[in-house]
Structure 1
Amino acid sequence: MSGRDGKSRLVDVELDESIGRSTPDVEHERAVAIFDLIEDNSFKPVGDDHGPYRLRLSLVDAKLVFTVTRDSGESVVTHILSLTPFRRVVKDYFLICESYYEAIRSSTPSQIEAIDMGRRGLHNEGSQTLMDRLSGKIDVDFDTARRLFTLVCVLHWRG
């Protein structure tokens, strides 16, 4: 599936304004994920062929809310996902990210690489969980799921 047809893709991603600011590392991750997501993604609500789309991510009562509209602003669908399936992987991901950012400042390249491999593995696991949870609701490819999972982490952390 490719969003290159111009329709099955996101053209804007907005995070709920209540998220607030975080550490410079988290802010950087969020900005890069949003930029990368908008630049290259494959995103299509199941049963809808009238994109491109805009996505607003928010937290409501500890649930992740995907509000999808058309580029024109017309409402398409809202999906609400429990964050429970993400709790362990997000917690582990944050722990290894802290180790990674510390390692960047003071460790050898081989130590940084080892920590980064673990970080990527957890990120992939969370991305696959997100794809599974969106299955039958929103079609995304793995790279899009990875970028969305980064945003889920930021939302979860701030939530």
Structure 2
Amino acid sequence: MGTKGSFRLCDVVLDDTIGRATPDVEHERAVAIFDLIEENTFEPIGHAGGPYRLNISLLDSKLVFTVRTEAGEDVATHILSLTPFRRIVKDYFLICESYYQAIRSATPSQIEAIDMGRRGIHNEGSQTLVDRLSGKIKFDFDTARRLFTLVCVLYWRG
């Protein structure tokens, strides 16, 4: 079981506690989940191997990651405060808004500068997620980026 291929997510579910959003936001969530499942590394520390199912929910304004094996056996539950993400997510949404406005009217170099800032903030959020789950779940930075996208989409009501 301990092969690299077994340390991955095979399913990601946003719990009903997340709430529903506009069709556009639901589409963004579905795309983020698809991208995450398509390519990821995900290794709960101390577990022999998956693949894993990740359920993401909210409990008292905290982010809850419930990890189970593909067969449904409990692996771990990690509860994270959303506080360290609030500023990053807010900054990310603001710069995304600027980015979408710039696409309509700015020069290519202005758009590129805003996009670099957007990626920088997204990387900061991804690193925060890595740090918060350090010693609990090991994943590569691309997986962290995709997970952070999901964290952002939780806030995005459309």
Q: TM-score, normalised by structure 1?
A: 0.89
Render the CA deviation track for 1:47-76: whole Å, top value 9, x for unaligned.
Answer: 001300010111111100001111011111
**2:98 maps to what in 1?**
99
Contact in 2 for aligned 1:58/1:155 (Cα 8 Å): no
Contact in 2 for aligned 1:55/1:68 (Cα 8 Å): yes
Letter in 1 for 2:86: R
Indicate yes or no: 2:118 matched with 1:119.
yes
- C-alpha distance in 1, partners of 2:4/2:81? 31
Give the % identical residues.
Answer: 75
Contact in 1 for aligned 2:20/2:26 (Cα 8 Å): no
How has the CA–CA distance of structure 1 residues 101 and 88 changed in structure 2, closer, same or farther, with 3 Å as cutoff? same
- C-alpha distance in 2, partners of 1:94/1:23? 18
The unaligned stretches of length 5 or more in structure 1 are none
Aligned residues: 155
* Deviation of the 1:27 alpha carbon: 4.1
Indicate yes or no: 2:71 matched with 1:78.
no
Letter in 2 for 1:20: R
SS at match of 1:78: strand
Contact in 2 for aligned 1:100/1:116 (Cα 8 Å): yes
**1:146 maps to what in 2?**
145
Contact in 2 for aligned 1:16/1:56 (Cα 8 Å): yes
Contact in 2 for aligned 1:43/1:139 (Cα 8 Å): yes
The unaligned stretches of length 5 or more in structure 2 are none
Deviating more after overlay: 12-21 vs 41-50: 12-21
